[in-house]
C-alpha cells in the first residue's frame, strides 16, 4: 500500500470520522464493567449479563433493520446511527450526575449501542461500494485496518490513564463525543447519493429478514468464508477468559504483564495491514487469503503450553505477534473478497447476517468453553480450542474466483436466479473490531479479553 495513493476528499472525511470513533471506542475500553462494579456494585452475574444480554438483544434488534436500510440512502443512516450512539451513551454520565443511574439503564444503553453498531457496519459497507472504484477497494480496506490497529495500540493505555485520573464516566463521555464528531465528519463529506432502487414489493415481508443468510449460503465462495470467520472468531474469543484465569491465577502473572503480553504484539496488525496490498499484487487475492487464513490458525494452540515467568510471557507475546500479523493481512483481503462477491443491493442484509452470526456463535462458544474450563481445567480447554482452530482452514474458499469481479457487476454466479440481475460496484468499509467485539461494556465481562486479542478476532469488517 502506498501512502501517496489519493482516494479523494470525501474518502478523507470518512476515514477521519472512522478514526475518531475508533479512538473513542478504545479510550472507553472496559468502562461499562467498571461502572457496573464500582458505581452500581454489580456482581459477576450482572456484569456477565451486561455483556451477553446486551449483545444478544442488540443483534436481534438489528436483524430487521438490515432489510429496511438496504433500500435507503446510506449516508443519512450512518449519521443517524452515530447520533443515536452519542445520545444513548451520554445518558449514562447525565444520570450519574443526577444520582439516578441504574443497572437497567446500562443494559438498555448496551442494547441500543449494539444494534446501532451492527446497522452502521452494514450500511457503511454498502455506502463505500458507491464511493470508490473497484481498484481502490483493497487500498481503502488496508487503511481502515491500519487505523484500527493504531487506535488499538494507543487507545487502551490512554483510556486507562483517564479512568485512573478522572474515573470511567470521563471515558464514556469521550466515546459519546467521538460519535458526534464522526457524524459531523460524515455530514461534511457532501456529494449526492442516489436512492437505491427497490425491485421487490414495497412493504418488507417476514421472509426478507433471512435474505442475508440466503444470499451467503447460496454463494459457493462466500459460504465457506462465512463459516470460517464465524468459527475462527468464536474459538479464539472462547479461550480468552480461560487464558486470563490461567495467567493471572495459576501462573501468577501481574496485571501489567498480562496487559503487556497482548498490547505490544498489536504492532503486528499494523505491519500486516500495510503489507496486504503488496502481497495481493504479487501473489494474488485468493492465494493470500488462503495462506494467511491458514497461518493464523496455527498459532493459538501454542498457548496450551504456557508456563510461568519471563519465558511464559515471551511465549505469549510471540504467539500473539504471529497471530495478529496474519490477521492484519487477512482482514482487509477478506473484506475486499467478500464485497466483490456481494451484489450492491444485497450488501446491507449480507453484512447484517454476517455480524449477527459471528456475535451469536462467539457468545455460544464462550459459554460452552466456560463450562469446559470448569470440567477439564483452563489449560486443557485452551488446547482443545487450539486443536479445533487447526481445522478452520478447511473452510476457506478453495474455488478460484478470478472472474468474480466482472461477473458480479451484473450477476453473481452463486446466488439464486432471482438475485442475478443485481448490479455491483465495489467496496467495503472496515469498522474496527473494537466496534464489533470490543465495545466497552457491551461485549466485555469481568474476565474480558485484552484489546489486541479482541481486535484481531472479530475483524473485519467495516466489512467481522
Question: Can you read off the three cell numbers belonging to residue 345?
Answer: 443491493
Q: Which range, 13-17, 61-65, 133-137, 218-222, has the best average confidence (pLDDT)?
A: 218-222
Q: Count of CB atoms within 10 A of residue 262's CB?
A: 25
pTM over 0.85: no
Question: Can you read off the three cell numbers belonging to residue 279?
Answer: 502481497
| Residue 13 to residues 128, 371, 427, Cα–Cα distance (Å) | 12, 46, 16
For residue 431, pLDDT over 80 is answered with no
User: How many residues in the chain?
Assistant: 464
Place of cell 451520554: 90
Confidence at residue 442, expressed as pLDDT on a 0 to 100 scale: 27
For residue 125, pLDDT over 80 is answered with no
Which are the contacts of 360, defined by CB distance < 8 A and separation ≥ 6? 56, 59
Q: Which range, 54-58, 97-101, 255-259, 430-434, has the best average confidence (pLDDT)?
A: 97-101
Estimate to the nearest angstrom the gap between the alpha carbon of 420 and the chain centroid: 29
Confidence at residue 440, expressed as pLDDT on a 0 to 100 scale: 32
Considering only residues 110 and 319, tell me which one the structure prediction assigns the higher pLDDT.
Answer: 319
**From CA 221, how far away is CA 333, in angstroms rounded?**
14
- 210-222 pLDDT tens trace: 888 999 999 998 9
**DSSP secondary structure letters along 86-101:** HHHHHHHHHHHHTT--
Confidence at residue 82, expressed as pLDDT on a 0 to 100 scale: 94
For residue 443, pLDDT over 80 is answered with no
Q: What is the dihedral of CA 49, 55, 57, 61, to 10 degrees?
A: 160
Q: Give ∠ CA 69-229-333 in degrees, rounded to 5.
A: 80
Confidence at residue 206, expressed as pLDDT on a 0 to 100 scale: 60
Q: Rounded mean pLDDT of 205-230?
A: 87
Considering only residues 322 and 434, tell me which one the structure prediction assigns the higher pLDDT.
Answer: 322
Q: Rounded mean pLDDT of 103-107?
A: 91
Confidence at residue 411, expressed as pLDDT on a 0 to 100 scale: 39
**From CA 221, how far away is CA 90, in angstroms rounded?**
42
Residue 184: CA atoms inside 13 Å, Cβ hemisphere, count? Answer: 8
Query: How would you class 416 by CB atoms within 10 Å of its CB: exposed for 0-12, middle for 13-18, buried for 19 or more?
Result: exposed
Amino acid at each position: 500500500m502506498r501512502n501517496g495513493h489519493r482516494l479523494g476528499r470525501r474518502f478523507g472525511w470518512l476515514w477521519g470520522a472512522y478514526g475518531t470513533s475508533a479512538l473513542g471506542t478504545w479510550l472507553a475500553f472496559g468502562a461499562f464493567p467498571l461502572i457496573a462494579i464500582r458505581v452500581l456494585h454489580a456482581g459477576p452475574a450482572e456484569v456477565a449479563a451486561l455483556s451477553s444480554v446486551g449483545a444478544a438483544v442488540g443483534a436481534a434488534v438489528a436483524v430487521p433493520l438490515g432489510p429496511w436500510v438496504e433500500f435507503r440512502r446510506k449516508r443519512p443512516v450512518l449519521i443517524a446511527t452515530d447520533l443515536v450512539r452519542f445520545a444513548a451513551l451520554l445518558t449514562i454520565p447525565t444520570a450519574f450526575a443526577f444520582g439516578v443511574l441504574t443497572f437497567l439503564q446500562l443494559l438498555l444503553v448496551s442494547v441500543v449501542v449494539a444494534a446501532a453498531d451492527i446497522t452502521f457496519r452494514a450500511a457503511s459497507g454498502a455506502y463505500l461500494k458507491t464511493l470508490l472504484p473497484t481498484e481502490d477497494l483493497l487500498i481503502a480496506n488496508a487503511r481502515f485496518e491500519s487505523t484500527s490497529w493504531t487506535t488499538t495500540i494507543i487507545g487502551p493505555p490512554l483510556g486507562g490513564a483517564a479512568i485512573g485520573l478522572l474515573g470511567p464516566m470521563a471515558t464514556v463521555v469521550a466515546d459519546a463525543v467521538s460519535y458526534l464528531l464522526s457524524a459531523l465528519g460524515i455530514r461534511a463529506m457532501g456529494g449526492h447519493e442516489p436512492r437505491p432502487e427497490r425491485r421487490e414489493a414495497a412493504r418488507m415481508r417476514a421472509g426478507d429478514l433471512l435474505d442475508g443468510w440466503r444470499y451467503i449460503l447460496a454463494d459457493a465462495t462466500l459460504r465457506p468464508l462465512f463459516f470460517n470467520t464465524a468459527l475462527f472468531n468464536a474459538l479464539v474469543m472462547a479461550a480468552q477468559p480461560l487464558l486470563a484465569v490461567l495467567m493471572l491465577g495459576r501462573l501468577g502473572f501481574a496485571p501489567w504483564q498480562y496487559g503487556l503480553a497482548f498490547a505490544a504484539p498489536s504492532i503486528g496488525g499494523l505491519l500486516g495491514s500495510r503489507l496486504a496490498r503488496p502481497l495481493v499484487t504479487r501473489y494474488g487475492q485468493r492465494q493470500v487469503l488462503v495462506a494467511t487464513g491458514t497461518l493464523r490458525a496455527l498459532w493459538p494452540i501454542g498457548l496450551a503450553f504456557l508456563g510461568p515467568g519471563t519465558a511464559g510471557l515471551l511465549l505469549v507475546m510471540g504467539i500473539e505477534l504471529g497471530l495478529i500479523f496474519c490477521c492484519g493481512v487477512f482482514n482487509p483481503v477478506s473484506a475486499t473478497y467478500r464485497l466483490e462477491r456481494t451484489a450492491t443491493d444485497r450488501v446491507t442484509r449480507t453484512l447484517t447476517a454476517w455480524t449477527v452470526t459471528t456475535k451469536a456463535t462467539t457468545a455460544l462458544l464462550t459459554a460452552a468453553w466456560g463450562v469446559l474450563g470448569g470440567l477439564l481445567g483452563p489449560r486443557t480447554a485452551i488446547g482443545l480450542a487450539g486443536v479445533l482452530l487447526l481445522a478452520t482452514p478447511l473452510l476457506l474458499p478453495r474455488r478460484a474466483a478470478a472472474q468474480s469481479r466482472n461477473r458480479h457487476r451484473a450477476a453473481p454466479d452463486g446466488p439464486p436466479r432471482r438475485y442475478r440481475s443485481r448490479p455491483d460496484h465495489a467496496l467495503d468499509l472496515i469498522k474496527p473490531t473494537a466496534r464489533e467485539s470490543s465495545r466497552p461494556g457491551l461485549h466485555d465481562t469481568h474476565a474480558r479479553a485484552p484489546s489486541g486479542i479482541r481486535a484481531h478476532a472479530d475483524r473485519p469488517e467495516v466489512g467481522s
